[in-house]
Amino acid sequence: KTYVIVSGNVACIRRLNGTHQVGCSSEINGNVGVLHYINDTDSLNWLINSGPHQPYVALLTSLNFNRDTVQQLRNSKKITGIIVIHTDDSATTPLPDSFSPADKCPGDLYGLYHNNQEYGNCKKVTWNEDGNGMFFEDFEFPISIVTNKNETDYLINNCYLKFNQPTQGVPREYPLCAVQMKSRMAAAKDSETCIRRTNTPTNLNPDKYCDALGDKNVIGFFKDVPEDYKPEKKSIILAMARMDSYSLFENIYPSADNQVSGIVALLAAAEALRKYKDHFDNTTKDILFTFLNGEAFDYIGSTRMLYDMDKGALPLKLKMDHIDRIVEVNQLAYREGGKIWIHADPVSRNDPNISSEINDMISTILDIGKNLSDIVGAVDQTQPLPPASTQKFLQKTLVPALVLTDHKKTFTNKYYNSRFDLAKTISAMVNASDNGYNHVTDQASNLTVAATLLARSLYTLATGSPAPEGLMAEQQSVTHMLYCFLISPNCDLFKQVIPPAREAFDDLASQKSPYPFYVSVYGQINNVTRIIQRLLTHYIGTVEKNHTESCTSSEKASLQLYNYLWMAGPLNSDNKTRTVTCVKSRVTQTKAYSPAFEITDYNGWGGFQYSTWTESSWATNALLLRVFLIPSKAMEVGLLCTGIFFILASLGLVYFITRKSTSLFSLDNEIEMTPR
C-alpha cells in the first residue's frame, strides 16, 4: 500500500582495478530522493538553482544522460541518485548522436605504445573521439536504468507529474513522490585491498567482497594432423577476434559492432575454409582461430595466453616462435567508405624483414579485395595499430601482424562499449513478424563479403596459393549468427550445437534476451564462451561416427591433440527430433585469468603488466528500486510530538487516578481499608 516496486531496473555496478574503484554504489539502506524528471535545460536548471526539496533523484532521458549533465548534477550536490530511461521503444528512448563511456584512448596504458613518444597516448589518432570516460569515473551515488516502458511511464506520470512537477517554477507542497535506490556494493578502494580483505577471514562465514574478472579463451587449430604432430617454428597463423566488451550497466552488453561483427566474420570464414581442409597438409601452415576473452579489461585473455606460452601450458606447448603471422579482426559493422581497413604496426616496420612481409600480406589482401567489390583498403603506414589484442602479442615478439577494422582513422562506431551498440544500430535487425531469423539484412550480406575476404586471405597466407573461386562464406550462416548473437539465442543454429541434454535445451528456450558479451567473473559460466567454442567446433570439426567413447557433453580445457564434443545435432525431417552428433576437432579452451591473482604476493598492482580488474560483489537483495510518497518534516515531527505528549500525559493521569483510587471509587461492598 505504501511502496511501488520497480522491477525492471538495472544498476551501474562497481569494479576495481589495481589503483582505483570505478562505477557506482549506494548507501547500505539505499538512497532516498525526491524524483525530478529532466527532459530539457529548463528542468535541469530548475533542479540545480531552485529545487528546495533536496536530495533529489534525477530522472534523465537517453539524450541528456551525458557527462556534461551528470557533472552539473554532481556539482550541485543536490542529487542522491540518477535514473535513466532505456526501453526498447525508440520513442521513449531516442538514440543519441553518440555515446561511449569508454575513454578516448582505450587500452593505451597496457598496449604496445605505452611510453612510446611517437605513437603513445593517441598522439597520432584519437581512436574513440566520442568517448566520455564515464565508465572509469567513481560515482558517489547510484545510477540505474529502467527498462520497462510501463514503469517509466509510471515514474513520469504517476510520480513526477502528479506530485512533484513545479507549477510555473513554484515548487510543490508535501507529500512529494520519492524514489529509493539500493545498489550497495561490497568492495571498495582497489583490487589489492579487496582481495586482501576477502582472503582474510574474520569469522566462520567469510564475506567475499570482490571477484576477479576472467573466463576462458577459445582456440581451435584448423589443420588435420597425425598423432605425433609437433608444430614447427613459424608454422601457425593466428586468426584472432575478441569476445567481450562492457557498458555502464549490468548485463546490458550488446556489443554489436564491438565485437559481434568480428566474431561472426571469423566464424563464417572458418566455416568457409572447412570445405578446403584437405588443401592444408604438412607443406602448408596451420591456422589457429583464437577468440580472446577479457580484452576490454586491459587485455586479460591475451596477457594470460602469453603468460601460459612462457610456462608451456598451452596445447602443443605453443610458443611465440611457432607463430608466423597474426591477422586480427576487429569491429566490422560501420565500414568507413564501405570498406574494411587494414592496419599494421609502424614499430615492427623498423625490421626490414617484417616490413616486407607486412607489405606482402597487405597486397595479398588488397588483391583479394579487388575481386570482392573492392571491399578493402589499407591505412597510412605511419598510423599505429588501433586498440587490439595484437598489441600484446607484438609486445612479446614482433611478427608480421595486421588488424582489419571498419574505421580508417578514428572509430566509426559512435557507441563503442555502450548499451546502444545494438543490432538495430548496425542495421542487423528488421521488424519482421517472423523475427527475421532467415531474413538477410544489409549488414548480413556485407559481413558475408567480409568473411569471404577473410577466408580467402587466410587461405592464401597459409598455403601460399591463390584462393579457389568456390571459397565463399555462407550468407545463411552469417544471417543466422547475427540473429542468434544479437537478437535471440533461442534459434535453430544454437539449438544444433548445444549439448543434447534436456537442461541445455530448456535453458536456451528460457532466454529472453541475447547473451551478454561480458567476460564476467572468473568461475561463473559465460554463455558466450561456451557457444563460440561449440560453434567453432561445429564449423571446423568433423563428425565422428564410430569411436564416440571419447565424446563428452561439457566443454573443458584440454591439452590433447583432438577433442570430442556431443552436440544436439540438426533437425530431422520430422522437424521435432534431432540426431545427436559427436564432433571431433582441435578446439579447446584456455584460461583467461589474470596472473596477478594467481601469483602469490603479487606486488605489481600499480604497474601495467597484468590486468588487475575485479568486480564488486553484492548481497542477494541488494538491488532495489521503489517509489513512494514522503511526508513533510512538519507532519512527521508533529506526529511524534503528539505521541510523546499522549504517553506522558496518560502516564501522569493514570498515576494520579491510582493514587486517588480509594476516594474516586467508593464501593458499597468494600470490605475494609486494607493496609497495603
Partner 1 sequence: MTVMEFFGCTFIAFGPPFALFVFTIARDPLRIIVLIASGFFWLLSLLVSSILWYAVVPLREQLVFGLVFSVLFQEAFRFLFYKLLRKADDGLQKVSQTGQEMHMTPRDITNKHIMAYVSGLGFGILSGAFSTVNVLADMVGPGTIGIYGDSKYFFVATAFLTLSFILLHTFWGVIFFNGLDKKQYYMVALVVGSHMLLSCLTLLNQRTSSRDSPLYLASILPAYVMTVIMGVLAYYIAGGSLANVRSCFPCGNARKYEID
- Return the number of the residue (181 or 519) whose C-beta is nearest partner 1: 181
Q: Does 634 bind partner 1 (CB under 8 A)?
A: no
In 532-637, the DSSP E strands lie at 542-544, 563-567, 581-593, 614-616, 623-630
Q: Return the residue matching grid coordinates 507549477.
A: 167
Which residues have CB under 8 Å from 309's CB, separation 6+?
318, 319, 320, 396
Could you give the CA distance from residue 561 to residue 382 in angstroms, rounded to a whole number? Answer: 41
Q: How far is the CB of 26 from partner 1 (least distance, A)?
A: 13
* Total residues at interface with partner 1 (CB under 8 A): 55
Dihedral-angle region of residue 221 (phi above 0 means left; psi in -120 to 50 means alpha; beta otherwise)? beta
Which residues have CB under 8 Å from 645's CB, separation 6+?
none
Residues paired with residue 34 on neighbouring β-strands, in sequence order: 56, 178
Q: Does 676 bind partner 1 (CB under 8 A)?
A: yes
Q: How far is the CB of 61 from partner 1 (least distance, A)?
A: 23
- Return the number of the residue (1 or 230) whose C-beta is nearest partner 1: 1
Q: Measuring CA to CA, which residue among 519, 509, 619, 621 is closest to residue 185?
A: 619
Q: Does 622 bind partner 1 (CB under 8 A)?
A: no
Q: Does 651 bind partner 1 (CB under 8 A)?
A: yes
Residues paired with residue 626 on neighbouring β-strands, in sequence order: 5, 180
- Return the number of the residue (32 or 532) whose C-beta is nearest partner 1: 32
Contacts 24+ apart (CB under 8 A), 149-156: 149/87, 149/88, 149/89, 149/92, 151/6, 151/7, 151/8, 152/85, 152/87, 152/92, 154/4, 154/6, 154/627, 155/6, 155/35, 155/37, 155/59, 155/83, 155/179, 155/627, 156/37, 156/59
Q: How far is the CB of 672 from partner 1 (least distance, A)?
A: 9
Helix residue ranges, H only, 234-297? 261-274
- Return the number of the residue (600 or 674) whose C-beta is nearest partner 1: 674
Q: How does strand 31-38 pair with strand 176-183?
A: antiparallel
Binding mask 12-51 for partner 1 (x = CB under 8 A): ------------------x-x-------------------
Q: Which of 169, 352, 470, 675: binder of partner 1 (CB under 8 A)?
A: 675
Burial of 214 (0-12, 13-18, 19+ CB in 10 A): buried
Which residues have CB under 8 Å from 249's CB, separation 6+?
10, 11, 12, 86, 143, 144, 145, 419
Q: Measuring CA to CA, which residue among 126, 122, 41, 39 is closest to residue 83?
A: 39
- Return the number of the residue (509 or 654) whose C-beta is nearest partner 1: 654
Q: How far is the CB of 645 from partner 1 (least distance, A)?
A: 8
- Return the number of the residue (316 or 625) whose C-beta is nearest partner 1: 625
- Return the number of the residue (57 or 239) whose C-beta is nearest partner 1: 57
Burial of 393 (0-12, 13-18, 19+ CB in 10 A): buried
Q: Does 5 bind partner 1 (CB under 8 A)?
A: no
- Return the number of the residue (312 or 631) whose C-beta is nearest partner 1: 631
Q: Which three cell numbers stand for residue 338?
A: 564501405
Q: Does 621 bind partner 1 (CB under 8 A)?
A: no
Q: Which of 5, 161, 432, 644: binder of partner 1 (CB under 8 A)?
A: 644
Contact 412, 346 (CB under 8 A): no
Q: Which stretch binds partner 1 (CB under 8 A): 44-52, 258-266, 568-576, 648-656?
A: 648-656
Binding mask 171-210 for partner 1 (x = CB under 8 A): ----x-xx-x------------------------------
- Return the number of the residue (574 or 665) whose C-beta is nearest partner 1: 665
Q: Which stretch binds partner 1 (CB under 8 A): 207-215, 350-358, 506-514, 658-666?
A: 658-666
- Return the number of the residue (27 or 544) whose C-beta is nearest partner 1: 27
Q: Does 3 bind partner 1 (CB under 8 A)?
A: yes
Q: How far is the CB of 182 from partner 1 (least distance, A)?
A: 11
Q: Which stretch binds partner 1 (CB under 8 A): 12-20, 251-259, 480-488, 667-675?
A: 667-675
Q: Which of 138, 232, 281, 670: binder of partner 1 (CB under 8 A)?
A: 670
Burial 73-84 (b: 16+ CB within 10 A, else e): beebebbbbbbb
130 to 159, contacts with partner 1 by CB under 8 A? 158-159
Contact 101, 70 (CB under 8 A): no
Q: Does 671 bind partner 1 (CB under 8 A)?
A: yes
Q: Which residues bind partner 1 (CB under 8 A)?
A: 1-4, 30, 32, 158-159, 175, 177-178, 180, 626-631, 635-644, 646-647, 649-651, 653-655, 657-671, 673-676
